[in-house]
Every structure is written in C-alpha cells, then in structure tokens.
Amino acid sequence: MTEGGPAGPTVASDDKRSALLAALDGIVAGTLAIGSATLLAGIVTVLGLAGGQPSPVAAVAAAFIDRTPPWLKDFAIATFGTHDKLALLVGTLVVLAAVCAVVGLLSRWRATVSLSVFVVVGAIGLAAVLSRPGAVAADAAPTVAGVVLGLWYLARGTQPATSGGAGNPSRRLVLGAAIGATAAYVGWAVGGGAARATASRLAAVRTLRVRRRMTVPEGADLKLPGLTPFIVPNDEFYRIDTAFVVPRLDADSWRLRVTGMVEREVEIDWNALQDKEMTEALVTLTCVSNEVGGDLVGNATWTGWPVRELLAMAGPRPGADMVLQTSADGWTCGTPLGALTDDRNALLAIRMNGQPLPFEHGFPARIVVPGLYGYVSACKWVTELKVTTFAADEGYWTPRGWSARGPIKTESRIDVPQPFTDVPAGTVAVAGVAWAQHRGVAKVEVQVDDGPWRTARLAADASIDSWRQWVLEWDAPRGSHTLRVRATDGTGQVQTGTSAPPAPDGASGWHTITVRVH
C-alpha cells in the first residue's frame, strides 16, 4: 500500500488512542491508590490507631507547607487568601495526575520502569506520612495498601488482552476511576473522626460560669454600608494556619498539659476546663501576613479561662521567659511568658461569639493573646504549654525567618469607598477600622490628596484589645482623588508611614486608595 493511503491515518489515530488510554490508565491507578489509602486512613483514624496524618495526600501537602519559604507563603496568602489550602490541594492533585499519566505512558514501552516510578511516588507519600508529628507504624499501612492496589491495577493493564488480564480497556478505566473516587470521598468523610467530633462539639453547648461578661457598647458599630461589622461572624472570620486538614478533635479525649520549667506539671481535661470560672473578652486577632489594608484581621468575643491562672497552678520557675504552645497537628508558637501572666485578657478560649469554637478556629480550645500577632500567640487545637526560654526553644515560624516575639503594629484600613470606584460628588462617608491591640486607638486621621490630615469620628470604644470603627464625612469635589489613613494608639504613638512588607514582623505603612468623583 502506498504512503498516504488509508492505513497511514488509521495507524496514527490508533497510536494516539493507545497513548491516551495508557495515560488514563496511569491516572486511574493513582486514583485507586490515593482513594483506597484515603479510605483506609479514615478507618485507621476512627479506630484510634493513627498517631499523625495517615492520609498520603494530606501528609504530602502538610510536608510541603512545612518547607514553604516565607516569600512563597506570602504569595499564596496574597493570591488565594483563606482559600490557600484549597489551592494547594488542587495543585497537589494536578501534579499527582501528571506524574501518574507519565507512569501510564511509560507502561507502553517499559512496564518495569513504569512500576518502579509508581513505587517511588508511593515511597514519597509514605515518607511524608511518617514525617508528620506523632506518626506511628499504623499510619503507614494505608499508603502501603494503596500503592499495592495501584501496582496491581497497572500490572494487569500491561498484560495482553488475550490473557484475560487487561479486559475491556474502557470498562476497566471507568470501573477503576469510580472505585478510587468513591473510596476517596468516603475516606475524607470519615477521616478525623468527624462524626464523633461533631457530636462532641454540639454537646459543648452548656451553661458556663462567667465572672465578667462583655457587652458591646452602643455606638461601637457604626453600621455603615460596606463597613466591616464590629463583631465579625464566625463563618466570615479569616482563617490562616498550616493545617492542611482541619483537626476535628473529640473534646472528651482532649487534654492540655503544662510542662517544662515549672514546679509541677499540670494536666487539664475538657470537663475540668468547662467547670472553671470564665472571662469574656473582646479581642481583635491579626495575622502577621496581613498586608497594609488587608483583611486578615477580625474582631470577636472570646470566652475562656485566663491562661495566667493555669500557669499559676504549674508555677513557672525563675529564668523562664517563653511558653512554647503546641497544637494537635504539631504546629508550635513561642509566646512571651509575660504576655500570658500579666493582667491582659490572655485566654484559653472555648467559645467564639457565644458559640463553641468552630473546628476551623480551634475546637475544643485555643489560645487568644491581645497585642501579639497570631503566629506567636494564637495556637488552635492547643494540647501543650511548655514553659521554657527563647534561648532554648523556637516556634514554627521563627527558624523560617520571622521575628521571635511579634508585637502587633498600629494599623488602619479604609473599607469604604472601595479603591477605584466611582462616587457621586457631595458628602461621601470615608470609613474603616483601626487597631492597636492592648494599647487602644485614640485617634484616626484621613488625608485627601496632599491636603492636611483631618480627624475622623471614632465609634464608641469597647476595649483596648479590639479595633475601632471610624468615619469621616468628606465633601468630595469632582475628579480623581487619593485617600490615605493613619491611626494614633493609646500611648500617643502615630502609625508610621514607612512601608514595610509583612516579613519578618508585620507590614507597615498608610493604607492609600484612589477614587473617582463624578
């Protein structure tokens, strides 16, 4: 048959179809491996056999987070905000799919090489699982089983169809993908003891003894359209942490230990904690990664037991100057001992805006410390407080280039009008929030273009630990205008106009926007 006849295009088409099926075969093998491993990881966790993170996808993502340089962390938060974990999950799955597709293509030429590469990928997942804090031998079982299942699927695909090994390729692909996806879904659903943890959280709604209740004063919330509410609802509160999978702890099995440089070690459980006399406090939390004008800041009412009373039970020894907080997922932060023992409302918090803590915000208990960025104070899912020194221990972010102590800087933000929006000429409300936790906000000023700084009207002051809303009635002339804001804290210190990035100790500068008046 001459070149270019009917056989030429048919052979090329068959070759492309064969390559596509091979790539899909590899992806389905990966889906089976990950799905079965995720399902088994959920079972291992529910049975109480897991020590760390037995799900290989979650373990790989968590290991990646641990090794993320500060500049990449800032980029991810700036780009994806509170959806950074979802972006990482999608990215992880895309990379795995690409690798598995290559594995499938390799099986067309060298089955042994293909299977070897698949084993290497599985070994990386296994190494990540075993690297997680608290990992035990049982954590490895789901990954090993998943890799074995994936290898079996790949090996059958490399056998000739006449041997009965491969079977109908299309049916095999669909069936394998369905089983893998279903297993993954069920595994994620049961993983972490979600049902038991949810029941535990619902049971946490009980009457507490509160020595001092916090009431938001009239006028603290200006209730202007577009202005962030004074109290941020729980489901709108920002979440930034290193937990790829949110820990869902059973409160009945939760324990908090005080260890280290203490006269006596102390352990407290959930029932004992709930029996303590609680304090309510309005505290604004701020992430150190928050850019000037950013939204990684929020205000809430927290209910909890003063940490100083817990530490007093243990009796810190002379020379101690830091408390290393540890989360259930292994994350740590180093907090100045003085910030946990002075008269500020540093709380072992169990409620947020009157409700049991959401899982995403630390249920069953977390630490809230006014005046410090979250990376050195706000430990969620807290399980240990180690009294120590800054010379002997470091929190998670300190060796990654962030400063050790992290006091919050005085900051302010314009919420309305939004940047680059058109507003009508005449009276325009320029409004926003300002914060200087544990110092309070004494004044907010707004500058229009290069004019004089004008004093804004402050909302009622609720607490030196919470932000204050502010508003300036601006007689806006037509044209393009630049607005900037600065705050003065309770000590008389004016917010600096010197711009600095978040690393290593928090962003600074005046929030500046441009609007068009027509």
- Tens of pLDDT along 150-173? 888 888 765 544 444 445 566 666
Closest CA to 420 of 515, 302, 294, 325: 515
pLDDT (average), residues 117-142: 91
Query: What band does 108 get if pLDDT is binned at 50, 70 and 90?
Result: confident
The confidence score (pLDDT) of residue 11 equals 45
Q: pLDDT per residue over 202-212, tens digit each?
A: 788 788 999 88
Tell me the percentage of the chain whose pLDDT exceeds 90. 61
The confidence score (pLDDT) of residue 297 equals 98
Q: pLDDT per residue over 330-366, tens digit each?
A: 899 999 999 999 999 999 999 999 999 999 999 999 9
Radius of gyration of the chain (CA): 28
Task: Report the alpha-carbon distance of residue 255 to residue 337 in Å, rounded.
Answer: 21
Give yes or no for residue 488 having a pLDDT over 70.
yes
Give yes or no for residue 134 having a pLDDT over 70.
yes
Least confident range of 84-93, 191-200, 504-513:
191-200
Task: Report the alpha-carbon distance of residue 324 to residue 322 in Å, rounded.
Answer: 6
Q: Taking phi first (over 0 means left), then psi (-120 to 50 degrees means alpha), and beta for anything else, what does residue 415 get?
A: alpha
Instruction: Tell me the C-alpha to C-alpha distance, in Å, between residue 413 and each of 85, 115, 255, 430, 510.
Output: 26, 55, 39, 10, 8
Express the helix, strand and coil content of the chain in percent, nearest 5 each: 40, 25, 35
Residue type (1 letter), 279: T
Give yes or no for residue 418 having a pLDDT over 90.
yes
Tell me the percentage of the chain whose pLDDT exceeds 70. 90
pLDDT (average), residues 403-431: 96
Give yes or no for residue 25 having a pLDDT over 70.
yes
Closest CA to 457 of 439, 438, 474: 474
Task: Report the alpha-carbon distance of residue 464 to residue 47 in Å, rounded.
Answer: 46
The confidence score (pLDDT) of residue 161 equals 44
Residue type (1 letter), 221: D
Q: pLDDT per residue over 297-325, tens digit each?
A: 999 999 999 999 999 999 999 999 999 99
Question: What's the mean per-residue pLDDT of the chain?
Answer: 88
Torsion of CA 125, 131, 134, 140, to 10 degrees: 30
Give yes or no for residue 2 having a pLDDT over 70.
no
pLDDT (average), residues 70-82: 76
Closest CA to 130 of 184, 60, 193: 60
Closest CA to 185 of 54, 58, 84, 36: 36
The confidence score (pLDDT) of residue 75 equals 80
Task: Report the alpha-carbon distance of residue 273 to residue 268 in Å, rounded.
Answer: 7
CB atoms within 10 A of CB 427: 9
Residue type (1 letter), 168: N
Q: pLDDT per residue over 52-67, tens digit each?
A: 888 888 888 888 888 8
Task: Report the alpha-carbon distance of residue 387 to residue 319 in Å, rounded.
Answer: 10
pLDDT (average), residues 15-20: 69
- Where helices occur in 67-225 by DSSP H, the ranges are 70-80, 84-106, 111-131, 137-157, 169-190, 194-203
pLDDT (average), residues 252-276: 96
The confidence score (pLDDT) of residue 8 equals 45
The confidence score (pLDDT) of residue 14 equals 55
pLDDT (average), residues 453-481: 97
Give yes or no for residue 16 having a pLDDT over 50.
yes
Supply the angle between the helices 169-190 and 7-46 in degrees, to the nearest 10: 20
Query: What band does 82 get if pLDDT is binned at 50, 70 and 90?
Result: confident
Q: How far separated are the first and last CA of the chain, in Å rounded?
A: 76
Sign of CA dihedral 288, 440, 377, 250: negative
The confidence score (pLDDT) of residue 79 equals 80
Closest CA to 300 of 84, 444, 462: 462
The confidence score (pLDDT) of residue 249 equals 87
In the numeric block, which tokens belong to residue 43? 């079972």
Q: pTM here?
A: 0.82
More confident residue, 450 or 167: 450
Give yes or no for residue 443 having a pLDDT over 70.
yes
